[in-house]
Structure 1
């Protein structure tokens, strides 16, 4: 279920030819890093949206596609074949164990800061829901791949779960099923070799970038121009894919149509986002290999700002929104640097050999794939 050879590409080698080294495709590292920057940015500006319409519109635009885009990338580097023992062990070491570790850390943090904590491993804290979602995605993918029209089934599942109020945030199941079509779409694109066949990483004429900028800009303008409508409809929480339609005020039979429209919008915006991502290698490209460090650690960096309210009542918006944006990029950079990785590797990439009957399954040797499919050498 983990990707073999993720991020790398190379010509096939014939029986009589010498094997050629496979190379990384920098686009995917760029895409991962920019996605995680958007995740950090979305969380950072959350406190600004109560006092600034521009910040709220920016927030809605981000949340319309940034997690679906991340799910698409993760699905692209997932395999649907029968997992090997090593791949099964990776689900435990790369997803389940870090989830437990960081849930315990959040419980301790809340107890120290707030003086109270309610340990409940079935209710993911803040960003940890996506870690569980990745685990569930990978577990169900081999079964989805057996079906005819797997994408259609995942869309039906996502739409249908909104009608079931008993499917809630326990083990992040509501969000997981809600975002499942995007993960399946990423897998489908890889399964059918769409990116290579249509040379999507090679051909990018100027008008494609112009259209992509126009699509995102138009979405941002619509979010700002009709902001009172979106606030009245509680669009922000619709974009979380977490609550049932009834909880969102959508008791009507056609409420699923709203989610379907948002899913189409997410695919369109994700496509525009991917069209704008640089194809070449840059000094920051390597940080795309370490998105899980940023994902798991940035919430602890933002926690003091979230709880103290220092990001409230910040005016003027033209100053603070760009400043928070720049700081979000810097946080994403800092948390992916070597010193941070060295300190937090036992938490983010644990290898509990004692947990396995065969300790070799938790070995640190060889290459490493994180839950989003980023492949890198293991030190």
Structure 2
């Protein structure tokens, strides 16, 4: 199982409630963001909520994955899990989505280089996990990742093919998560006294409140400036009207804002067991399955056009219900072959031997 997606501790290791709480809250925010997407064109309130969520929920997603990523030389077990936890689920669900589109009147075309809807994250995650051991060999890997992200925004050739625009654009958050692990923040935070904890949490609450107030009071301007396109990290600046040389400065500012929001988010997560802590082990199921439940709302047109006032809170409550539903043990039992395919028949029983120098017989070398 992977933690938000990858990184869930293995069964023999003690799970840390803080991280399971963070995983489930972050994945639920993702479901909410996807659920209210169709509302934002007609509602400034919905758009405000959407921008608020997207200012930090994807960076948190990526950072938590980076926190649990291994930066050492990959071994056989690591490569095995890379295939079973990420690559195989991507191939399975990309195939399913291709068939769904075919059955709903779209062209039936199997193209595994372009991810369907939310599956881009699995492609990006594969690249991040493979490249991290090499990246951390360099000095200042976080700074290098920021430069790569900003530079990628100037390349119009980067698009949805193998999710390269997002993979490079969001790379700093993956490295930032790894950096938090190096700083051993979990142990320090869990041993901090309650008074000190709430001092930090007060600051985090004020940061989020200020962010939402700024977005809500400037939503018309933010809509005109196409800030949403910057928050998606999925295309070049010029593709949405920012051909100026300073466009990378906007991404830089959003990256540092997201760094602060990631820390603030983690500060607000309960440090102890809660009613949803156990759901943190099911984030992969929520991630891969929630889109099927939202697909009818997305394609039917029921959410297009002006909506009643209860549409936004209704979709938020529905999203939370979906996240809870997909966290249940019965869902994990039914869908485990698709979400966590072991595919043992594909693997060697013994690891392949390394390639070595061929030692020729003496009679050949004479």
TM-score by length of 2: 0.89
What is the deviation of 1:6?
5.3
Secondary structure of the structure 1 residue equivalent to 2:272: coil
Secondary structure of the structure 1 residue equivalent to 2:256: helix
2:305 equivalent to 1:305: no
Query: For residues 91 and 22 of structure 1, do their structure 2 counterparts lie closer, same or farther at Cα, with a shift above 3 Å needed?
Result: closer
Q: C-alpha separation between the residues in 1 aligned to 2:43 and 2:134?
A: 45
Contact 2:18–2:272 (Cα < 8 Å) also in 1: yes
* Structure 2 counterparts to residues 132-147 of structure 1, below 5 A: 132-147=123-138
Match of residue 354 from structure 1: 345
2:26 equivalent to 1:35: yes
Secondary structure of the structure 1 residue equivalent to 2:304: coil
Q: How big is the alpha-carbon RMSD for the aligned residues of Structure 1 and Structure 2?
A: 2.2
Q: C-alpha separation between the residues in 2 aligned to 1:360 and 1:49?
A: 52
What is the deviation of 1:207?
3.3
Secondary structure of the structure 1 residue equivalent to 2:253: helix
Match of residue 68 from structure 1: 59
What is the deviation of 1:283?
2.2
**Which of 1, 6, 17 is equivalent to 1:26?**
17
Contact 2:55–2:258 (Cα < 8 Å) also in 1: yes
Match of residue 244 from structure 2: 252
Q: C-alpha separation between the residues in 2 aligned to 1:358 and 1:150?
A: 37
2:279 equivalent to 1:287: yes
What is the deviation of 1:310?
1.2
Match of residue 372 from structure 1: none
Contact 1:314–1:320 (Cα < 8 Å) also in 2: no
Contact 1:32–1:288 (Cα < 8 Å) also in 2: yes
Q: Which runs of 5+ in 2 are unaligned?
A: 353-366
What is the deviation of 1:156?
0.6
What is the deviation of 1:359?
7.5
Query: For residues 90 and 141 of structure 1, do their structure 2 counterparts lie closer, same or farther at Cα, with a shift above 3 Å needed?
Result: same
Secondary structure of the structure 2 residue equivalent to 1:71: helix
Any runs of at least 4 consecutive aligned residues in structure 1 with deviations exceeding 6 A, and if so which? 2-5
Secondary structure of the structure 2 residue equivalent to 1:89: helix
Residues 215-244 of structure 1: CA deviation (Å, up to 9, x unaligned): 112211211211121111211111001110
TM-score by length of 1: 0.86
2:155 equivalent to 1:164: yes
Q: C-alpha separation between the residues in 1 aligned to 2:306 and 2:334?
A: 34
Higher Cα radius of gyration: 2
What is the deviation of 1:197?
4.4
**Which of 245, 264, 277 is equivalent to 2:269?**
277
* Structure 2 counterparts to residues 112-123 of structure 1, below 5 A: 112-123=103-114
Q: C-alpha separation between the residues in 2 aligned to 1:5 and 1:54?
A: 35
Q: Which runs of 5+ in 1 are unaligned?
A: 9-20, 362-379
Match of residue 95 from structure 1: 86
Q: C-alpha separation between the residues in 1 aligned to 2:289 and 2:306?
A: 25
2:202 equivalent to 1:207: no
What is the deviation of 1:7?
5.0
Q: C-alpha separation between the residues in 1 aligned to 2:98 and 2:334?
A: 21
Structure 1 range deviating more: 187-196 or 175-184:
187-196
